[in-house]
Structure 1
């Protein structure tokens, strides 16, 4: 019998290096293998498993029979194969410290290191022996260490470690950014003067950390350039494995930035609460405006004299103003608006600039600057115009004696450092839209309040206090964020950051309205009208009956379902309010469709009036109309649904 090749291994080789003694049986050798903590494989010259040990079965989870006579490649994954091992042995006589990956029975994998050698006979390889060490824990430890290192590199906080002798032994990238002091100038020395000019506070912090294990407080810090700031500082005692004090961990951050983040969080919570309240108010206001809007249309046909028409025109104008105010509230609270599409900044600024040139005082000079090859954004064109126009109006009001209004658009790459300073920012490519003025600036004492709903300095006749709140809400719903630069007496700049569209999305073409007068008159069809507002119910009933429809009314969802059951063969269409106590619109629609699946239903809502087709199908609706809407809108929708 030929001698097997001798090969290096991090453990004592279980394989004989010379002809085995006839006194050692195969069973004794296998028993010895079972005592070893590493995986042992005996492979044939063509790569089939001939024998394994207990560690192989325990670590990989297979039964002994599941190994035998199977190709080794069934277990080698994501890296090397048997052919690779065999070639290495043929070339250099062994395989040493070869990293690989083994497949376990449960589908998981283990990172291993393989050492292998083979018996030779007449220059040909015989059986191959493999000693396989499990290095999965080491790999996990290395991966965890890399993750921790990455976190330390990206962390904006200054992380400093000081040994018990008072010397700095670790100075993070965050510390370099915060203080402007590179690590090589800080490590091996006492705490630099930038961490505090009061030695008594630093001594007290160190004493508390050593005696109680921690210290928290504020320190007057500075950068290497002399810029002073207040740092929130946390000191903690680190111990070694035996529990003895080893070093002191110091974590510092700019107190102004942390307070800004906290204020932003609280402001978002306040706006959410106010938004919920305002959404309810908006719904009720729309229900109040709905019968007024329909009644104006009804009286227009009855009162033909000029004075009556003038009064009705004034009423209609005020209803539209109220409707616009409610629309702003809804935009602020829930982002009501059409589906998003690609918005070109040239077009956006062009529309706003045309309006500004025509409507703003001549004493205000407009400047527009757009970067070449500016990427588009994905959003709502109308809402984007509303954002820029609201900011322009505020700029106009800040320049009572005239000045310069500047619109600027540039591409802006938000990196991790910048994103860390903005609570809602994420790294990536943005388009930055800036609206700047040379006006009076914003006083420091009200800067934190200007984005709060209903806050205004313009007086009740000139502002609702919803402009900037609406702007902020729209920007956030588009995945963007807003920053402000202002100095009292020197003007302000609002910077709107919106994610750039990653790929061009063709905007849907608006449907061309028919030049023919659409048909709205009824032909005697029966409509079930359901609304919990009795005033809305009465006015809509009269308007529909006047237009040639038969109308059945119900004051809630339960009554609507009951009435539909009793008149199921007569009813051609159902119109229902979506928000009602008890059985609401969607629930009532589902109940009606169980009785008659094909009955068309139109919803009315004081809230979201632009759902997508998938939402409409899920609700079982053909259309949804926003309140308030006039008679013509309702009649046209009815006719379209009935004629489908």
Structure 2
């Protein structure tokens, strides 16, 4: 504003003689008072865009005193760019009219300003336009605040959208509560884990919602203490706790809690992860690790036994073979019935030893079971018959409760027989420590048609198994027996045999006699069952054997002589060699024609494979008449050789029927004698 605006107008009027001659003397103060009283920046310019008047707001906005503005042009005061802007705007003005404009304008040194402006024509009476009145309002601060607010709103909208996407799609449950413990957010993962809908959860107390009743008091105390003292041992830590579903089921969870401050308001965001599946997976991994560990132990045990199988099976072959021949010899002698029975028992025990060795080898080879249709009562009867003397001498009574209508099982009878014998032996050995009262063993069975399984229970009335070792009794090499009386492998092997049949062997949680108890569960699977419960015997050797000669090669002279005796009983003649080198020497001499060769594989004086290769070069027609007898075919070299040769093989200990069967395969009856 000028120091004397009224005088300025008057002077301007006198000089020009045209500027305000249409205004009366009373109108000039009115105009001055009008422009001085408004809050906007006001300026009056003539047609040359020269300032005639500015108010104080305009002076403050431009930052120059009125004396440097009045009489100067817009070009002089504001510069070329703004002068051009005003010139173009005024050019569009209709006569006697006004225009308004709003936007960002660059004021040079004053910077960019957001201006709302009107430009109005100022006529000379009813004549032509003498100038223009410019009213401007600086809205820069307001516009900046508006833009900042819009930015904040947009940022908040984006944050809310981002938050919603993250929270709603999080795999973990996110539950937010306020200071009172009321739920203010409950994401979809929480809905899935805890079973409440979002509407059901919102506003409810978290303690009533997912915290088990036994933990609610501790939760309330912890929240109250933190709100009062700020001390906590929970915030920011990973915790594993129990939580409760809508159904009342308790589940393990992993939990972290974070405090969120919104001004003076405090919220607590809990991230929860359901650990039920993780725990199940960990238990399964641990179970499989333990199973693998046990299998490794059993494999090592099987390999150990396989290494000595040859040495075990040779004497077993001698015991079985000589016992059978002794029994046959005694059968025709009067008053020898008792000796025949005793030899039969020796033979049965030797067969049991052979089956045990073969079972270990079968596990090590992972060979399929020799299954057939079997009744459990028959196996139990056979096992008790084998152990009858031991049970009687130990004063043990055996109660048997086996229903007559039990279904037939499709199993390897020898292996299940071995398991039952082992469990009964363990029972009566534990009862030997019982000094008072009766010693009893109970064997019972039942059929579960729904589960398609038979359960066989064997229990005793001894002292039982202490709880401290229950988890270890199936571990290989673990035994409670004194040193020298137990190997610790019986239960481990028995469980392995039952599991290989798809069944289970476990401790009986409630043994009927109160002592130790075991329960065997075997599935009923008759998909491959043979309706016949007994194997049909091989047809007798009907062909004429007189004049047929068999060469027997074995480094164990007792085995070789036993084989020779069995062969001669079938009508053949026989020669014996104690190794491959000795057999070659026989061929160099005057040996009679050979129609079949029974040869061991592992021998120090020239083994079976090297003799077979020599035979292929020197007597190739005889390679089809060779059968191998061995105490162990587990070794990879022996297995590869047998596959390469294509020769039949039987394992020690052998039976006369085995020898008859292999000779029937080897001997060509149309060959010359």
TM-score normalised to structure 2 length: 0.47
Which structure has the larger Rg over C-alpha atoms? 2
Higher RCO (CA-CA < 8 Å; seq separation 6+): 1
